[in-house]
Amino acid sequence: MRKNTKKTFTAMLLCFAFIIMSGCSWYPTIYRMSDERVISIELIYYDNPEARTNPSEAFPLDLDKIEILEVLDDSLIESFVDVFYVSVSGGQHNGVLFSHDGIGVRFIHEDGSFEIVTLTTVELETMTRVTEEKRFFMGLYYSDGNVISTDDMSGRIFVSDSVGRFSDWFYNLLDEYFTMRQS
Tell me the H-state helices in 116-165: none
Read off the pLDDT of each residue in 157-169 and give the average, rounded to a whole number. Answer: 53
The pLDDT of residue 38 is 93
- For 79-93, the pLDDT digits (tens) are 998 887 655 444 444
Neighbours of 139 (CB within 10 A): 23
The pLDDT of residue 164 is 47
Does residue 135 contact residue 152 with C-beta atoms inside 8 Å?
yes
Does residue 66 contact residue 137 with C-beta atoms inside 8 Å?
no
- Say which residue, 174 or 24, is predicted with more confidence: 174
CA distances from 44 to 56, 106, 108 (A): 22, 7, 12
**What is the distance of C-alpha 59 from the center of its chain?**
17
Nearest CA-CA partner of 63 in 146, 135, 177, 160: 146
pLDDT surpassing 50 at residue 161: no
List 73's β-bridge partners, or say none.
Answer: none
Neighbours of 177 (CB within 10 A): 20
Q: What is the rounded distance in angstroms from the CA atom of residue 85 to the CA atom of residue 112?
A: 21
Q: What is the rounded distance in angstroms from the CA atom of residue 138 to the CA atom of residue 93?
A: 15
Q: What is the rounded distance in angstroms from the CA atom of residue 183 to the CA atom of residue 120?
A: 11
The pLDDT of residue 96 is 62
Determine which helix (DSSP H) or strand (DSSP E) holds 78, and give its type and residue range.
helix 77-84
Does residue 37 contact residue 78 with C-beta atoms inside 8 Å?
no
Determine which helix (DSSP H) or strand (DSSP E) holds 177, and give its type and residue range.
helix 166-177
Read off the pLDDT of each residue in 51-55 and give the average, rounded to a whole number. Answer: 74
| Model pTM score | 0.71
